[in-house]
Amino acid sequence: MVHKPRRTSALLAAGWLLVPLAAAAQATDRFQPATPPELVASLDAARALRQSQRYDESAEALRRILAQAPDYYRAQYNLALAYAQQGEHDKALEAFSRAAEIKEKMGIVDASLENSIGWLHLLRGDLGAAERHLQRALVELAADAEADESTRRKVYNNLGTLYLYTGQLDLSRKYLETAKTQYGSALAARSLELLGELQAKERTRREDG
């Protein structure tokens, strides 16, 4: 008879191992490599729930992870995203703030956090705060050699959208062009079409003025 290790049995009973053990054994965290593989696997499962729009389930799973590992950066960050995507913006800002504390404490380099905070402020209509965080994200991209294409695309898209909202159309075009040409953003391509229409109307207004 094969006995499961006591730690593994306890984790199974607590509902931690949400993916097969073989996957858990291979799981490592990019930012905190010392994180136990079973927590990384549970985090990835909770993240998949969030990406499937099962926000309540995702948030609950992430809170369980954080109860065991309060300084687990990606768990805190994904909890903030789950709150934001549910429309619970105040909870999201609080969770993002905690993620930022962990990030600084652990010396983590990750431009996606500042981008996500800027995105949330953009949703809330706080354009000044959105600009501060998105510009910080842009600076951090230069230091984040491992930032993936998706993160880079989002930063440039969000900056382009921000400056579209503020009426700084030349700046908007600059960032949207980067998102489109360097990172293949279809969203940026559509935004550039809108921007072209706005600039054409502005030229007409000036000529008629």
Contact criterion met (CB below 8 Å) for 102 and 62: no
- Rounded to whole angstroms, the Cα distance separating 108 from 90 reads 24
Q: pLDDT, tens digit, for every residue of 11-47? A: 333 343 344 444 444 678 999 999 999 999 999 999 9
Q: pLDDT, tens digit, for every residue of 76-135? A: 999 999 999 999 999 999 999 999 999 999 999 999 999 999 999 999 999 999 999 999
CATH class of 37-107: mainly alpha
Q: pLDDT, tens digit, for every residue of 122-145? A: 999 999 999 999 999 999 999 988
Angle of helix 149-166 relative to helix 186-208, nearest 10 degrees, comes to: 20
User: Which residues does 119 contact at the CB level (< 8 Å), separation at least 6?
Assistant: 84, 130, 134, 154, 158
User: Is 80 exceeded by the pLDDT of residue 6?
Assistant: no
- Rounded to whole angstroms, the Cα distance separating 41 from 35 reads 10
* Residue type at position 152: R
User: Is 60 exceeded by the pLDDT of residue 54?
Assistant: yes
* Residue, of 25 and 189, whose pLDDT is higher: 189
Record the pTM.
0.83
Tokens (6 digits) for 20: 């097969």
- Predicted local confidence at residue 209, as pLDDT: 63
- Predicted local confidence at residue 191, as pLDDT: 93
